[in-house]
Amino acid sequence: MSEPILEVSGVAKTFVLHLRDGARLPVVSGAGFELFAGECVALGGPSGAGKSSLLKMVYGNYRVDQGAILVRDGDETVDVAHAGPRRLIRLRETAMGYVSQFLRVIPRVSALDVVAEPLIHDGVDRDEALAKARALLARLNLPERLWSLPPATFSGGEQQRVNIARGLIAHRPLLLMDEPTASLDAANRAVVIGLIEEKKRAGVAILGIFHDAEVREAVCDRIIDVTEFAKAA
Amino acid sequence: MTATEQPLLVAEGLSKNYGARIGCRDVSLEVYPGEVLAVVGESGSGKSTLLSLLSTELAPTSGRVSYRLRDGALTDLASLGAAERRLLMRTDWGFVRQNPAEGLRMAVSAGGNVGERLMAVGWRHYGNIREEALDWLGRVEIAGDRIDDDPRAFSGGMRQRLQIARNLVTRPRLVFMDEPTGGLDVSVQARLLDLIRGLVTDLGLAVIIVTHDLAVARLLSHRMVVMRQGRVIETGITDQVLDDPREPYTQLLVSSVLAV
Amino acid sequence: MSASDVGGMPQITYNFAYLDEQTKRMIRRAILKAIAVPGYQVPFAAREMPMPYGWGTGGVQVTAAVLGRDDVLKVIDQGADDTTNAVAIRGFFEKTARVATTTSTTEATVIQTRHRIPETKLREDQILVYQVPIPEPLRFLEPRETETRQLHALAEYGLMHVKLYEDIARHGHIATTYAYPVEVAGRYVMDPSPIPKFDNPKMDDSPALQLFGAGREKRIYAIPPHTKVRSLDFEDHPFKVQRFAKPCALCGATGAYLDEVILDDKGGRMFVCSDTDFCNTRQEEGHRGEMGA
């Protein structure tokens, strides 16, 4: 078998809440797993088990106390747990994407530009990027009249579709998804399932949190039970 | 960090004492081309002193600031003569100040404010200067028919946008910003931030922005430096510092803000 | 004070040209430096003079420092030899230096002036002394003296063009008509004192030595003979001098700077040479304008 895209080993994290007299909040401990190209893996376990924290640690959004998170970036392997911020920023630009639960709205930027931005950042021609963004938004059934508007006033489901489009438009070998279908109707869930399957076929490794059983069963190849890591912590 | 990526500005061990009072203590940092670095902290944390030191407006008590000149050489700014340093400041650098009256010539028209740097670097064709000024006013969303009005007739947000145009007209590579949205209404702030964000991306600017507003840091910056009592106490990717702050003081800062 | 040895003098007299020798020496040193660094404002320890500021205390001190016993002095104010200021200063040096005075530009060796350069071309053996109210050309836009000194030191003169830009933006053309800034010898930007910009070209490559004295501001600057003096402008708004629609009503001169003279309260007026000596000389030579006698 080929080299993993993501290799997590011995990862531990505890929040220290200084404002509450240094209270310690263990999240995970001894977390370890691998992720290979073309597979989709769900992080499983009840809420509070540390699924989201683990996902955020992989992305470098949360810091790691112990262990290593190795992400392949071309010929290099980068340890997210120890990489400097500049390296981490570049890793996010080339090797991993993140579809968060909620869209962080940027004032005055249209939905279309929000979606096209990662591609433009990659150096793709602006017109080409916008064309791809239009196609994606159309596929996700976002009404065309909304495309030129900033998503601040969109409904939750509309914002999430913009968010998914933004997260999926550019190619990243590792994709992290935090409940991408939470506020979508059945038709749009099906669209997202299709998009995820396409990514898998393109060799993208996906790590996600999928509460929706239908989506999970449709796209996930296996489930990693985070409870095991939480127990240890 | 590829072998080719080189910092634009490097500060090493910067300290500044005001008599017995300490403005800044042993600060080291690097800024890379095209990157926005936010310096956050409360008033009195030393962030404005740091900005003055980095921009050579203040001389450090100890330590040094180096800058990669256009010839590619990383040069200790203290080794430059006053003329070279000033040339650098009005061509390759910009400085957007919280108080527009300090960053603009309030009795000079908007066009003259934008054109000044061009004239300073030798532009001597009125029509070209005016055309360039008009272009920049457009970029900062100031109507062309305001070109001959002076900034005293402008709102706070317009003044800040004019200040930005005045600074960017020579295509600097590094811009210092000191609380550029301070004192503006929230809606005006949002517009200004969006404008800055767009210009930074389009022009590939490196920006060192001092702010006490974590939402501003979140929206604009790639990396963050948290200062307290003159020291840098925490650094990292902006979302990491804001979402998983480690230091007690940073946790306090983050928790003191409504949803950033 | 030296007295008694000169027959016919009053009992109390003045040191030659009023100022004591040490002061004149100090001023001459400043003048020498000003000549060595054309257009650069040299600070000097201006003295209190027996006349108010604004009446030419700077020019008078420079004149006192360069005047010799054989010099012939002419003083003009707005081009005229017979105005109060000109008469008073001429009288001052007649009394304190007992030099010969004249109203003729060609006869004079030292000409002190306020607000004009004579129309008659000057010669190498002549010195033109300007009275200067505000020597700093950048002050209008940058009031901080510390900053303007820096700007001069580093030859950062973008600001000067900002002023001209503002003129064009507001008036459609460069509306500055006097005290029009010049660049001297390709280096310092200088305020030529409130002469009309009409006179600016006369400063360029002038055979005469030009000295500028600002008494209140305690500055002396100079243009040595045959120095390049360029009026600042834009490529698409080149420097231009005023043109007058009609020749002088008295002497018929064209290409001279004219003053408007109101003749009556019914709107009657005429335009005559501001340089009275020039106009009189032409009339003596037989030139006549439309209202010439």
- Read off the CATH number of the domain in which A39 is found: 3.40.50.300
Report yes or no on A230 lying in a domain: yes
Tell me the three state secondary structure of residue A12: strand
pLDDT at B43 (0 to 100): 85
Share of chain A above pLDDT 70, in %: 98
**Does any domain span residue A26?**
yes
Active-site amino acid positions of C: 39, 248, 251, 273, 279
Interatomic CA distance for residues B115 and B119, integer angstroms: 6
Q: Does a structural domain hold residue A52?
A: yes
The whole domain housing A55 covers 1-95+213-233
**What pLDDT digit, counting tens, does each position of B98-132 carry?**
999 999 999 999 999 999 999 999 999 999 999 99
Write out the two tokens for B114.
Answer: 């934008």
With touching defined as 3+ CB pairs under 8 A, do chains C and A touch?
A: no
- Residue A166: inside a domain, yes or no? no
| Structural domain count of chain A | 1
Residue B75's beta-bridge partner residues?
B67
Does residue B208 belong to any structural domain of this protein? Answer: no
Asked if the C-beta of C165 comes within 8 angstroms of chain B's C-beta atoms, the answer is yes
Provide the domain count of chain B.
1
- At least 3 CB pairs under 8 A between chains C and B: yes
Query: Taking 70 as the threshold, does the pLDDT of residue B4 lie above it?
Result: no
Q: From chain B, pick out residues whose CB is under 8 angstroms from the CB of A85.
A: 222-223, 235-237, 240
Assigned domain for A72 exists: yes
Question: A-chain residues within 8 Å CB-CB of B197?
Answer: 106
Residue among C141, C150, C236 whose CB faces B108 most closely: C141
Domain membership flag for residue B166:
yes
Q: Of A110, A169, A164, A112, whose CA–CA distance to A140 is shortest?
A: A164
The string of pLDDT tens digits covering residues A112-155 is 999 999 999 899 999 999 999 999 999 999 999 999 999 988 99
C153 CA: distance to closest CA in chain B (Å) = 9
Q: Average pLDDT of chain B?
A: 92
Cβ within 8 Å of C, B 150-179: none
Across the interface, whether the CB atoms of A18 and B191 are under 8 A apart is answered no
Residue B179 counted as domain residue? no
At residue B201, the pLDDT reads: 87
Instruction: Suggest the residue from B119, B130, B132 to mutate for an interface test with chain C (most C CBs closer than 10 A).
Output: B119
Question: Got the DSSP string for A128-188?
Answer: HHHHHHHHHHHHTT--GGGTTS-GGGS-HHHHHHHHHHHHHSS--SEEEEESTTTT--HHH
Residue A22: closest CA among chain B residues belongs to which residue?
B248
Do the domain assignments include residue A229? yes
CA distance C37 to A167: 67
Structural domain includes residue B145: yes
pLDDT at A82 over 50: yes
What pLDDT, on the 0 to 100 scale, is given for residue C7? 58
Q: Which residues of chain C have pLDDT under 70?
A: 1-13, 293
Chains that touch A (3 or more CB pairs under 8 A): B
The answer as to whether B149 is a domain residue is yes
The answer as to whether B140 is a domain residue is yes
Sign of CA dihedral C145, C150, C155, C157: negative
Contact present, B63 and B23 (Cβ < 8 Å): no
CA of A187 vs chain B CAs: smallest distance (Å): 32
- Give domain status of residue A12, yes or no: yes
Contact (CB, 8 A) for C195 and C133: no
What's the pLDDT at C3?
Answer: 45
Q: Residue A229's pLDDT band (boundaries 50, 70, 90)? A: confident
pLDDT of residue C9: 58
Taking 50 as the threshold, does the pLDDT of residue B2 lie above it?
A: no
d(CA A4, CA B161): 49
Q: Determine, yes or no, domain membership for B28.
A: no
Query: Can you give the residue range of the structural domain that contains B155?
Result: 104-171
Burial level of C151, CB count in 10 A (0-12/13-18/19+)?
buried
Taking 90 as the threshold, does the pLDDT of residue A47 lie above it?
A: no
Contact across the interface for C165 and B112, Cβ inside 8 Å: yes
Residues of B in Cβ contact (< 8 Å) with C166: 108-109, 112
Given CB atoms, is A18 within the 8 Å cutoff of chain B?
A: yes
Q: What average pLDDT does the segment A4-19 reach?
A: 94
Q: Dihedral, CA atoms, C80, C84, C87, C91, nearest 10 degrees?
A: -160
Q: Which two tokens stand for residue C36?
A: 């060595």
Helices in B122-247 by DSSP H: which ranges? 126-139, 156-168, 186-203, 214-220, 238-243
Residue B1 pLDDT exceeds 50: no
Alpha carbon C171 to its chain's center: 27
| B188 pLDDT above the threshold of 90 | no
